[in-house]
Amino acid sequence: MAFFFRGRLARKELPDVVPGHIAIIMDGNGRWAKKRGLPRSAGHAAGAEMFRRVATRCKDIGVRYLTVYAFSTENWKRPPDEVSAILELLDKYLREAAEKMERDNVRLRVFGDTSALTDRLRGLIGDTDEISRRTDGMQVNICVNYGGRAELLRAASMYAAELAGGSARTLSEEDFANYLFSAGMPDPDLLIRTGGETRLSNFLLWQSAYSELYFTDVLWPDFDERALDHAIADYAGRARRYGGI
């Protein structure tokens, strides 16, 4: 689902065809920091800053959904101070977002198993969920303690519980999608991975079935508005056939 831009920026500044939903694996923060002789946490801080800029750019050009991978179910294996640094950046972002979401008409969701997070973070997520009930503009989904396989297992378990209770019917793809964190949202049109790796790493396994994939060596803290526009221009040149001809 591509949106043609009708917004407030000058036409010449904008890509012609804007994806309705962009998903991003923000990889390369650690290497960005290492190149500069900085601790990995500085790379994540720079990454969080670039996330703000890219989200703003997405909003300005008319992207409807932005889904980013901030913390995977596997990321707990990292040193505790790095885990804390990432979760602290999330805390800061959620606090700032709660102040501005209504003014900017932005919705915010966290995808993932939030039961492993602190009460404080869960409280902040509850606050932004609450605000999102009153806004209907661009939706930002932040994947935290998220894994694609865990999401599919969770969906299957929810369906099984309904089946056991006698309330479920035969499952179609559309029905199943309603058990995912992304229920009710369109699938990503464009999935970007920065940092040079060319794999999905357990991100949006169901939802990315027909997404256009864009891989770049640019490290996430360097992936600025121009780099985003470049990815969108590349996407705009592709023919999407969804298995047809």
Q: How far is the CB of 127 from ligand FPP (least distance, A)?
A: 15
- 228 binds ligand FPP, rule: CB under 6 A: no
Shortest spacing between CB 59 and ligand FPP, in angstroms: 15
Q: Are 69 and 146 in contact (CB under 8 A)?
A: yes
Instruction: Please give the Cα distance from 226 to 233 (Å, whole number).
Output: 10
Q: Does 70 bind ligand FPP (CB under 6 A)?
A: yes
203 Cβ neighbours under 8 A, 6+ residues apart: 23, 25, 69, 72, 143, 146, 148, 191
- Residue 91 annotated among the catalytic residues of the structure: no
> Is-catalytic flag, 16?
no
158-197 binders of ligand FPP (CB under 6 A): 195
Cα 105 from chain centre: 18
Could you tell me how many residues of this chain bind ligand FPP (CB under 6 A)?
19
Which residue, judged by CB position, is nearest to ligand FPP in the bound state? 30
Q: Which of 15, 21, 27, 218 binds ligand FPP (CB under 6 A)?
A: 27
**Contacting ligand FPP within 7-26 (CB under 6 A):** 26
Interaction between residue 85 and ligand FPP (CB under 6 A): no
Nearest-angstrom CA–CA distance, 84 and 8? 39
Beta carbon nearer to ligand FPP, 48 or 61: 48
Check binding of 142 to ligand FPP (CB under 6 A). yes
Shortest distance (Å) from residue 108 CB to ligand FPP: 10
Phi, psi of 64 (to 5 degrees): -90, -35
Residue with Cβ nearer ligand FPP (27 or 151): 27
Cβ proximity to ligand FPP: between 53 and 240 the closer is: 53
Residue 204 touches ligand FPP, criterion: CB under 6 A: no
Does residue 51 touch ligand FPP according to CB under 6 A? yes
Shortest Å, Cβ 142 to ligand FPP: 5
Q: Does 48 bind ligand FPP (CB under 6 A)?
A: yes
Query: What residues act catalytically?
Result: 27, 75
Applying CB under 6 A, which residues contact ligand FPP? 26-31, 44, 47-48, 51, 68, 70, 75, 86, 89-90, 93, 142, 195
